[in-house]
């Protein structure tokens, strides 16, 4: 007789092993799917996971692109993971990302076309502040009126999208182009351009910021009192309260950090790879970052790996579409499998199968 038994302690081994196992299972199941579609599964998996990095034809272009695609994911996920550890669920990073971008672009457009070294730093501050401000709405509603931060932060994404559309059509619209929405191209405004720091590497200020955030998050979670409080509040809320941790303060801090980081990501995107405020500027980074945070086990180093992995599946997925004519939907299914297998495997982190003699009633 097989019986499920809850583990006394979650298994550390499976916590670490599961993401790798999930990737392996995704390759197998994805390979079967690609074969069923009549494509060479080995070639498809190679195009998705290896060619963006190692191919002689694409590598020199797609390696830097990997950093460009992954940096915002990592930056946002680092902030989200801090909150998730404390059971504070910011689901609306997408909205904070948009507002951060609008604040950053707003500063740039206000100064246009003046030169000045101080413009970009001001944009950085404005971007972080915008995201912070947008995250404070669910934070204050939660601490004051005990609303649910999951719902409030999520719904504010749709509000942010409407503000974005209004800005692209109105206040921030490029006055030099008649009839079309969208702001000036910030990449053509030198003082505001988040350019590559070293040509051909893809490293822009957003990549640097992601790296700094990872280091800070790691230090905070392992060395600082705040990190200890966050973990304590997540694992044993009652004990945390006895230890003098204020739940309200924690909500504000966690949402504030994640909002500011998401806002930064938006600002670096709009002034660099994105280039301009457009109605369709938001492309789901804020939501994908939630997957990155969990795939990375809410651990800063894990998040770096998870962010790179997800970025890889996007870039490799496009290559596979282009070279093998795989349908776009099959790539989305492939990415979905990754999360599905991870969640399924996580079951054995907390439970194990036991063989028992005889039936129990």
Q: Which residue has the tokens 């969640």?
A: 343
Applying CB under 8 A, among 125, 165, 220, 345 the residue interacting with another protein is: 165
Q: Which residue's CB is nearer to another protein, number 21 or number 161?
A: 161
Phi–psi pair at 141, nearest 5 degrees: -60, -35
State yes or no: residue 38 binds another protein (CB under 8 A).
no
- Which residues of the chain form beta strands (DSSP E)? 2-6, 351-355
State yes or no: residue 201 binds another protein (CB under 8 A).
no
State yes or no: residue 273 binds another protein (CB under 8 A).
yes
State yes or no: residue 318 binds another protein (CB under 8 A).
yes
Residues in the chain, how many? 361
Nearest Cα to 6, choosing from 353, 343, 344, 297? 353
Size of the site for another protein (CB under 8 A): 41
State yes or no: residue 281 binds another protein (CB under 8 A).
yes
State yes or no: residue 40 binds another protein (CB under 8 A).
no
Applying CB under 8 A, among 181, 211, 246, 352 the residue interacting with another protein is: 181
Q: Which residue's CB is nearer to another protein, number 87 or number 321?
A: 321
Stretch 321-350 residues interacting with another protein (CB under 8 A): 321-323, 325, 327-329, 332
d(CA 136, CA 152): 11
Number of Cβ within a 10 Å radius of residue 4: 10
What is the smallest separation between the CB atom of 320 and another protein, expressed in angstroms?
10
d(CA 50, CA 53): 6
State yes or no: residue 212 binds another protein (CB under 8 A).
no
Q: Which residue's CB is nearer to another protein, number 39 or number 297?
A: 39
Query: Any bridge partners for residue 6, and if so which?
Result: 351
State yes or no: residue 57 binds another protein (CB under 8 A).
yes
d(CA 57, CA 88): 44
State yes or no: residue 62 binds another protein (CB under 8 A).
yes
Q: Which residue's CB is nearer to another protein, number 7 or number 188?
A: 188
State yes or no: residue 195 binds another protein (CB under 8 A).
no
State yes or no: residue 178 binds another protein (CB under 8 A).
yes
The two three-digit tokens of residue 244, written as one number: 């003098």
Do 74 and 303 form a contact (C-beta atoms < 8 A)?
A: yes
| Secondary structure class of 244 (helix, strand, coil) | coil
Q: Which residue's CB is nearer to another protein, number 57 or number 350?
A: 57
Peptide bond into 117 cis (omega under 30): no
Look at the alpha carbons of 87, 93, 94, 95 in this order and tell me if their dihedral is positive or negative: positive
Judged by the rule CB under 8 A, the positions of this chain that interact with another protein are: 57-58, 61-62, 65, 68-69, 161, 165-166, 169-170, 173, 177-182, 185, 269, 273-276, 278-281, 283, 315, 318-319, 321-323, 325, 327-329, 332
């Amino acid at each position: 007789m097989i019986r499920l038994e809850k583990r006394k302690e979650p298994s550390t081994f499976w916590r670490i092993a599961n993401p790798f196992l999930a990737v392996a299972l995704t390759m197998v199941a994805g390979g079967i799917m690609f074969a069923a579609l009549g494509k060479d599964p080995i070639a498809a998996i190679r195009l998705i996971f290896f060619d963006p990095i190692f191919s002689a034809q694409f590598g020199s272009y797609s390696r830097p692109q990997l950093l460009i695609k992954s940096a915002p994911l990592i930056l946002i996920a680092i902030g989200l993971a801090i909150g998730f550890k404390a059971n504070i669920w910011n689901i609306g990073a997408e909205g904070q990302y948009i507002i951060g971008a609008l604040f950053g672009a707003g500063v740039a457009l206000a100064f246009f076309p003046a030169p000045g070294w101080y413009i970009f730093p001001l944009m950085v501050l404005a971007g972080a502040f915008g995201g912070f401000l947008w995250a404070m709405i669910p934070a204050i509603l939660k601490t004051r009126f005990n609303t649910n931060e999951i719902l409030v932060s999520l719904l504010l994404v749709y509000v942010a999208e409407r503000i974005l559309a209004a800005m692209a059509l109105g206040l921030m619209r490029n006055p030099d182009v008649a009839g079309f929405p969208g702001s000036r191209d910030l990449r053509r405004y030198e003082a505001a351009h988040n350019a590559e720091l070293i040509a051909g590497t893809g490293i822009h200020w957003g990549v640097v910021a992601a790296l700094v955030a990872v280091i800070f998050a790691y230090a905070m979670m392992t060395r600082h009192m705040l990190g200890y409080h966050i973990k304590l509040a997540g694992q044993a809320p009652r004990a945390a309260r006895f230890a003098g941790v204020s739940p309200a303060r924690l909500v504000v801090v966690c949402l504030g950090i994640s909002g500011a980081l998401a806002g930064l990501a938006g600002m670096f995107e709009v002034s660099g790879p994105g280039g301009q405020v457009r109605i369709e500027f938001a492309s789901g980074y804020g939501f994908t970052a939630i997957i990155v945070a969990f795939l990375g086990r809410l651990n800063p180093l894990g998040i770096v790996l998870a962010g790179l992995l997800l970025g890889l599946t996007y870039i490799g997925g496009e290559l596979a579409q282009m070279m093998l004519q795989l349908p776009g939907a099959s790539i989305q299914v492939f990415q979905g499998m990754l999360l599905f297998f991870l969640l399924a495997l996580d079951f054995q982190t907390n439970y194990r199968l036991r063989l028992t003699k005889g039936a129990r009633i």
